[in-house]
Amino acid sequence: MPLGQIFLELGLVIVVLALVGRAAGRLGITPIPLYLLSGIALGAVMHLSDAPEEFIHIGAEIGAVLLLFVLGLEYTSQELRDNLRANRLVGLLDLALNVTPGVLAGWLLGLPLMGCVLLGGVTYLTSSGIASKVLSDLGRLGNRETPVILAVCVIEDVVMALYLPVVAALLIGGTLVAVGVNLLIALSAFGAAFYCALRYGPQLSRLLNVPSDETLLLGVLGLVLVVAGIADQLKVSAAIGAFLVGIALSGDVAHRARRQVEPLRDLFAAVFFVFFGLQLDVATVPGVLLPATLLAVITAATKFLVGWTGAARAGVQTRGRIRAGATLIPRGEFSILIAGLGLGIAPTLGPLAAVYVLITAVIGPVLARLDAPLARWLDRARPPVRRAS
């Protein structure tokens, strides 16, 4: 394929993203919903060649990894440990409220048992990539509700370390021994990464903290991609692997790494979101639009309740509770991956998950931006407190 054509197609996509980002800035909203809709529009009016599409696919994966790495830089290992311990019950509530609707929807749609289990996974997982982008765009990384959002996302990925190996082995007809081995590998990998991030973070920070900004960028970016790749090979989320690298870095090196990586994060994050839209086959939308919309509305409410409850337990006021609930609504890359596992047994699962993810990815960022008017509405809707005479 001519190099000029590759540049032309990629350049067109990036120019569209620039225009969309500018429009979002004028509107005062996060550009995520507009990026997603732009991807659908580009997919409908133009057909990308194989090379540009492959580049965008890889760029999207890098975007998810960098989003979580930069988010990890905001927290110390002790803060993460305390945060996970404090939000265990919220994690259990999340599991109960957000797996159940997917399983029931699969049963009502006539999916086989494994299809129902997979749809439960689709509805369970918040997109940590979208959540971190919303927090960054709206300047909320230091807010009191943000640790709750972070804890829910990390707990979900721990659950996925159990869920994915078991489901994958059952789909290919694996034995109990194979399931057990896959599960042990995934849990061991997550535990080892978590331990190393907590135990050897200071040594790693000193090793990477070189005077040259260029060398620092290359060292940090290389380490993040290596850890993400190993995590993915071991059936642990690549993004969570990158997040743990961010947790491990502290002090001056964390500040310098954030400054160096943020421009790359912004570029690849935009590619990450537009890739969702490009993946959606518009012809499949009418057949799954109604069930996907109903499922999105129901699980937006259940996920909102999880964020609201977690923030309330942390002593956060109404606006912060709304922000926590809304930020947790979007589902994303992992939901698409889970649906892809079941295409052989339930062909409708892929289109259903794609439309569902798109709807939640639009609802969440929009509601997160409307925290102030929603808080005022809730305050007016509450019955007045009667004072004892």
DSSP 373-384: HHHHHHHHHSPP
The yes-or-no verdict on residue 173 having pLDDT over 50 is yes
- Report the pLDDT value the prediction gives residue 128, as an integer from 0 to 100: 79
Q: What is the DSSP letter of 172?
A: T
- 174 compared with 245, residue with greater pLDDT: 245
What's the burial of 18, exposed, middle or buried (CB within 10 Å: 0-12/13-18/19+)? exposed
Looking at the predicted structure, is the pLDDT value of residue 297 above 90? yes
Give the pLDDT band of residue 69 (cuts 50, 70, 90).
Answer: confident
Residue 150 φ/ψ, nearest 5 degrees: -60, -45
What confidence tier does 180 reach under pLDDT thresholds 50, 70, 90?
confident
Q: Does residue 375 fall inside a structural domain?
A: no
Question: Residue 332: which domain range?
Answer: 71-370
The size of the chain, in residues, is 389
CATH number at residue 141: 1.20.1530.20
Q: Exposure string (b/e) for 349-384, b if CB count within 10 Å is 16 or more? A: bbbbbbbbbbbbbbbbbebbbebeebbeeeeeeeee
In the predicted structure, residue 272 carries a pLDDT above the cut 80:
no
Task: Give the separation between CA 67 and CA 10, rounded to whole angstroms.
Answer: 21
The confidence band for 55, taking pLDDT boundaries of 50, 70 and 90, is: confident
Tell me what pLDDT residue 104 has.
Answer: 96
Tokens of 25: 């800035």
Type of residue found at 5: Q
Out of 85-99, 158-172, 261-275, the most confident range is 85-99
* Residue at 277 is within a domain: yes
CA 158 to chain centre: 14
- What pLDDT score does 87 carry? 83
User: Beta-carbon neighbour count of residue 3 at 10 Å?
Assistant: 8
- Could you tell me the two tokens for 345? 């047994």
Separation between Cα atoms, residue 339 and residue 341, nearest integer Å: 5
Which among 145, 171, 101, 222 has a CA at the least distance from the CA of 346? 171
Average pLDDT for residues 329-355, to the nearest whole number? Answer: 80
Is residue 193 situated within a structural domain? yes
Structure tokens given for 257? 């790494």
| Helices assigned H by DSSP within 200-328 | 201-208, 213-233, 238-248, 251-279, 285-313, 318-327
The answer to whether the beta carbons of residues 165 and 182 sit under 8 Å apart is yes
Q: Contact 116/107 with Cβ under 8 angstroms?
A: yes
Q: Mean pLDDT for the chain?
A: 82
- 174 dihedral zone (left: phi>0; alpha: psi -120 to 50; beta): beta
Is residue 207 a part of any domain in this protein? yes
- Tell me the average pLDDT across 198-210: 83
Q: Would you say residue 54 lies in a domain?
A: no
Which stretch of 86-100, 196-210, 272-286, 356-370 has the lowest confidence by average pLDDT? Answer: 272-286
**What's the total number of domains in the chain?**
1
Whether the CB-CB separation of 330 and 127 falls below 8 Å is answered with yes
Round to whole Å and give the CA distance between 156 and 150. 10
Decide if pLDDT at 230 tops 70: yes
Distance CA 121, CA 160 (A): 9
Q: Cα separation of 307 and 325, whole Å?
A: 4
Distance of CA 125 to the CA centre of its chain: 8
Give residue 151's Cα distance to chain centre: 13
pLDDT bracket for residue 236 (50, 70, 90): low
pLDDT of residue 253 exceeding 50, the answer is yes
Residue with tokens 């996925």, as numbered in its chain: 160
Distance in angstroms between the alpha carbons of the first and the last residue of the chain: 83
**Residue 352 structure tokens:** 């259903």
- What pLDDT shows up at residue 165? 67
In a domain, 63, yes or no: no
Rounded to two decimals, the pTM is 0.73
So what's the pLDDT on residue 389? 44
Residue 287 covered by a domain: yes
Q: Is residue 170 part of a domain?
A: yes
Q: Which of 37-41, 66-70, 324-328 has the highest mean pLDDT?
A: 324-328
Q: Quick check: 385 pLDDT over 70?
A: no
* Predicted confidence (pLDDT) per residue in 116-149, tens digit: 999 999 999 898 778 888 888 888 878 889 988 9
